[in-house]
Structure 1
Amino acid sequence: MNQAGWWRGAVVYQVYPRSFYDSNQDGIGDLQGIIQKLPYIADLGVDAIWISPFFKSPMKDYGYDISDYRQVDPIFGRVEDVHQLIYAAHKLGLKVLMDMVLCHTSDQHPWFMQSRQDTSNDKSDWYVWVDAKEDGTPPNNWLSIFGGSAWEWDSNREQYYLHHFLKSQPSLNFHNPSVRAQMLAETEYWLKLGVDGFRFDAINFCFHDALLTSNPAKQKHHRKGRGFSKDNPYAYQYHYYDNTRPENIAFIEELRELLNQYPGSVALGEISAEDSIETMSEYTYSNKRLHLAYNFELLTDEFNAQYLAKVVSNVDKNITGGWPCWAIGNHDVVRVRNRWGGKDANILHSKLYHSILFALRGSVCLYQGDELALPEADIEYLDLCDPYGIRFWPRFKGRDGCRTPIPWNENQYAGFSEIKPWLPLAESHLPLAVSIQQQDAESMLNYCKRLLQWRKKQEALLEGQMTHLAANESILSFVRKSANQSILCIFNLTEQKSDFQLPVKAKLNEKNSFSLGLYLQQGRQLKLSAMSALFIELM
């Protein structure tokens, strides 16, 4: 592995620690649980792990509301466990990325508790405080992603404070140089402890418009987003002024300068913006900003060859000075098996979706449980934990359905814990338990292992460019080409057999190929079985 650029073409496995493995039998996954299961992760053939937040937190948003950046929440363990995890991962050849939330804290963080006391203390300007209008209403029309106004009244200061998410997640004021310096220091604390980099949560939300300009209305036919388009007014605005501000670029360059002091460390940014692909391009431009960025273009419900080709083409065309990263699942969206395939989707669908994912130019984030083809869990209202789902039930059921515990075996509580887990285990997950799939050569788990092992040997898939991208009603195809190799990638996305016409001069090296389903060559034509994938080297 190229230690300096190890992240180029890497597969990063996302661990949601609450639901991965419970080592101390309290119903909640923890750091020691991750350590115990690291051999499983390494055996998949991935290159790194990204761990969702384990910082000290009141858990109103399950760790994305941090009350101390330098402490591990007791439910997950201690800082010493992080040391042990990094050491154990490195011994297995795995890099470790932490999930860092820079744009806001918990309202239980000492900084905010001090800031809200009065207007004259030394933290008074660390958050975004604004006077009410003459009629007592908030200063503008900005909205929270989690519903309602992005402004919350504080009776202590008799002012409103900004929150992009829950009202218990006040936004830091990045216009204040002291805040920027402090967040760089919080980041460096973990670099000094040996972490290999960060996935920066909502990285484009750090700065807001200093003039507090109201956002313009969005036309109805343009309203779309991450599960909130139908019933969340957040989608009714163009978010030009509350996030993705030009001032953020300078801060991202400061972040990169910090990481450059720790060779091999990487910055992966989550981008959710009005034009996410353009923002990805801007945030990864040159060699001075983020190493990697991913957006939500493949985390939506839309799935067809033309749409995939459009997204892939736009990313490939626009990400000219950086390196893209791809995700089709994470802890915020419906499991990809059902999101793209519907309620009747089966394991074959999951195999096809991940075949496409692992073929794209760039790096990859693989969400825990997707290597098992887990479907979305159906959580009853009384069992919901996610405040987002509770707020918008029943049309939007929140994120709990993709966050349920990993089924390690068919025993009670699926080998995740010896007591009732924090979220219910889905009955539909038990036949997909790790212990069962490990014994089945045709399982989703073993398919992922084989594909990732083969992918590691293909220079073109790891670092090659993308050419000859094409799509019709049935088939998505492209060529990945490096200095020494070209690989033709073909995907039949339909439930019917389809034909693919080979280029006139194409010669196939069947000795170096990988396929899902069957194919038959007849002259210049390939006949592909339904829901199939073919990777084949061109001679």
Structure 2
Amino acid sequence: MPVADTATGHEWWRGAAIYQIYPRSFADSNGDGIGDLPGITAHLDHVASLGVDAIWISPFFTSPMVDYGYDVADYRDVDPTFGTLADFDALIARAHALGLKVTIDLVFAHTSDHHAWFVDSRSGRNGHHADWYVWADANSDGTPPNNWQSVFGGPAWTWDARRQQYYYHQFLKEQPQLNVHLPAVQDALLDVTRFWLERGVDGFRFDALNHSMFDPALTDNPPATDNRPRTRSYDFQIKSFSQNHPDVVGFVERIRRVCDDYGAIFTVAEVGGDGAMPLMKAYTAGDHRLSSAYGFDFLYAPEFDARLVAKVLQAWPGTRDAAGLTEGWPSWAFENHDAPRCLSRWTDDAARPAFARMIMALLVALRGNVFLYQGQELGLLQDTIPFHLLKDPEAIANWPLTLSRDGVRTPMPWDATVPHGGFTRGDPWLPLSADNMARAVNTQQHNPAALLAHTRAMLALRRAHPALRLGTVEALRVDGDLLCFTRRGPSEAIHCAFNIGPAPCDYSAPGGEVILSLNQADMQVLPAWGVLFVRDGAV
């Protein structure tokens, strides 16, 4: 059963704010140009000062780094690029001393082709790991067994001469698909989960979890029928059979049982692709599945408007059904290591300062958990990486039609007065732009008008008001660029209004205590990018 915090009466993670760290780009302690675990530990004071509840660290496991850590060669060790297990233990200790919980990424849909399991699996059809991956014979003409396509482009099957079979990979060919349908594979992955729980982690993000199972009959996917632009062969199909298999739910329940043995462990599934909402609900239903699911509604949205936010809030209001049960608990992010910086996607230079303050206020008002990606508190923009400096395999393969993930993975700027923003003493693995250098931590640290100070204030507001952290969503209304809703808790209601547009709009504020006002002068008008929170304590 879930364990509640005795001080608050609910699990620590419910409504938490979580800060994502991409270790390769956060802070380099040894001057090799690549961020590492000691670098993270040295800068945890900054993270704690924001007022977040936890950190999420992207993969740091042993890896050949073809997909920069998402191709795992050993789930139980730290890649030397990032440090050692002792460095990880020190990071855990420092985070906990600062009051930060630690969650890590586990990649259970695939491994690296360097993983010992795959090395054994490809060596023959009778070994211990022979069926731990997805193997299939060629068609009679030598072509792959079906029409499934890889996310990164091209067929999702690669011929292996040693086994005289094709193996399946939903991503790079160096990321062979685990056969998670197999109980023995599930057992091994659950043992990995226990390994990190024993080291003191407080939770997990499960990468691409809906990709972990597939139709065992290997049925062809049907063609896509919409008119959206297509830049990859993957986009030409409806992924009816290559992912989203209903048996993932049984594996989710096994994960939950293991985590419950260790107390209030936070578990969040990454669920992407078309039709993600029903999967998010299924993976988080009741008290016997995952804590939360990580939605993509905002991450790739090319524009940000009131209708988009209303659609998200309508799907997760927090109300109870006839049996007294609520739907699961969502998690939201505006950007991450895979998705472009939101300020570059959603606004221009002129509106950016006011817009950035508005959407930070909106993020903390959403029902669910909220994730901030490193540098978001500084207002970092998407960097442009020239082709000859690209590291992202997807961007290289689909150049120039796919926006490079490298542009959101550039180094964190700590100090604008030193080379490379204080990220490293060496040459950084990706370049940092002058625009982002100017937004470094030291330039904002003591400026009360900076986005950094505003981010801290918004996170403090969320922590101070249980209605924002835990309440239901009611009275949702959209009128052009005006978005209004109420977050209601047991002892208070907070009426939230946002003008997600460049022109003033009429708005009659309700009576009560104003706890947040951005650009507000007239209680009958909400200015461009304006925000107003009014607290009603008589609930």
Same fold (TM over 0.5): yes
TM-aligned CA deviation for residue 439 of structure 1:
2.3
Contact 1:268 1:290 in 2 (8 A): yes
TM-aligned CA deviation for residue 397 of structure 1:
3.0
Report whether the alignment pairs 1:304 with 2:302.
no
TM-aligned CA deviation for residue 469 of structure 1:
0.7
- Aligned residue for 1:517? 519
TM-score (norm 1): 0.95
| Aligned equivalents of 2:319, 2:239: Cα separation in 1 | 21
| Aligned equivalents of 2:349, 2:387: Cα separation in 1 | 19
| Aligned equivalents of 1:271, 1:233: Cα separation in 2 | 21
- The 1:23–1:517 alpha-carbon spacing in structure 2 relative to 1, beyond 3 Å, is same
- Aligned residue for 2:455? 448
- Aligned residue for 2:331? 325
Question: Residue 359 of structure 2 aligns to a residue in which SS?
Answer: helix
Question: Residue 400 of structure 2 aligns to a residue in which SS?
Answer: coil
Report whether the alignment pairs 1:164 with 2:170.
yes
Deviations 1:445-464 (A, max 9, x none): 01001111122111110111
Contact 2:368 2:470 in 1 (8 A): yes
Q: 1:211 aligns with which of 207, 211, 217?
A: 217
Deviations 1:63-83 (A, max 9, x none): 000000011000100001111
Question: Is there any run of 5+ residues in structure 2 with no aligned partner, and where?
Answer: 1-6, 321-325
TM-aligned CA deviation for residue 328 of structure 1:
0.8
Q: How does 1:123-142 map to 2 (within 5 A)?
A: 123-142=129-148
| Aligned equivalents of 1:311, 1:90: Cα separation in 2 | 33
Q: Which amino acid in structure 1 is aligned with residue 505 of structure 2?
A: S
Segment drifting more, 121-130 vs 342-351: 342-351
- The 1:4–1:507 alpha-carbon spacing in structure 2 relative to 1, beyond 3 Å, is closer
- The 1:515–1:230 alpha-carbon spacing in structure 2 relative to 1, beyond 3 Å, is farther
Contact 2:318 2:473 in 1 (8 A): no
Deviations 1:169-212 (A, max 9, x none): 00001122111100000111000111001011001111110111
Q: Which amino acid in structure 2 is aligned with residue 306 of structure 1?
A: R
Question: Residue 206 of structure 2 aligns to a residue in which SS?
Answer: strand
Contact 2:316 2:327 in 1 (8 A): no
Q: 2:511 aligns with which of 499, 507, 512?
A: 507
Deviations 1:21-68 (A, max 9, x none): 111111011000110001100000000000000000000000000000
- Aligned residue for 1:483? 490
Contact 1:273 1:279 in 2 (8 A): no
Question: Residue 104 of structure 2 aligns to a residue in which SS?
Answer: strand
Q: Which amino acid in structure 2 is aligned with residue 509 of structure 1?
A: E
Q: 1:435 aligns with which of 421, 429, 442?
A: 442
TM-aligned CA deviation for residue 516 of structure 1:
2.0
Q: How does 1:168-179 map to 2 (within 5 A)?
A: 168-179=174-185
- Aligned residue for 2:124? 118
Contact 1:325 1:362 in 2 (8 A): yes
Question: Residue 290 of structure 2 aligns to a residue in which SS?
Answer: coil
Q: CA RMSD in A?
A: 1.5
Q: How does 1:32-181 map to 2 (within 5 A)?
A: 32-181=38-187
Aligned pairs, number: 524
TM-aligned CA deviation for residue 529 of structure 1:
1.6
| Aligned equivalents of 2:313, 2:155: Cα separation in 1 | 35
Contact 1:175 1:207 in 2 (8 A): yes
| Aligned equivalents of 2:463, 2:275: Cα separation in 1 | 32
| Aligned equivalents of 1:23, 1:533: Cα separation in 2 | 40
TM-aligned CA deviation for residue 514 of structure 1:
1.2
Q: How does 1:116-515 map to 2 (within 5 A)?
A: 116-221=122-227, 223=228, 229-299=229-299, 300-316=301-317, 320-342=326-348, 346-410=352-416, 411-502=418-509, 506-510=510-514, 513-515=515-517
The sequence identity of aligned pairs, in percent, is: 44
| Aligned equivalents of 2:136, 2:204: Cα separation in 1 | 32
Segment drifting more, 191-200 vs 308-317: 308-317
Deviations 1:348-400 (A, max 9, x none): 22221221111011111111111110010011111100001111111223200
Contact 1:337 1:345 in 2 (8 A): no
| Aligned equivalents of 2:382, 2:26: Cα separation in 1 | 16
| Aligned equivalents of 2:263, 2:148: Cα separation in 1 | 40
Segment drifting more, 35-44 vs 391-400: 391-400
Q: Which amino acid in structure 1 is aligned with residue 243 of structure 2?
A: N
TM-aligned CA deviation for residue 342 of structure 1:
4.7
Q: Which amino acid in structure 2 is aligned with residue 178 of structure 1?
A: A
- Aligned residue for 2:20? 14
Question: Residue 484 of structure 1 aligns to a residue in which SS?
Answer: coil
- Aligned residue for 2:525? 527
Q: Which amino acid in structure 1 is aligned with residue 430 of structure 2?
A: L
Q: Which amino acid in structure 1 is aligned with residue 512 of structure 2?
A: L
Q: Which amino acid in structure 2 is aligned with residue 517 of structure 1?
A: N
Question: Residue 82 of structure 1 aligns to a residue in which SS?
Answer: helix
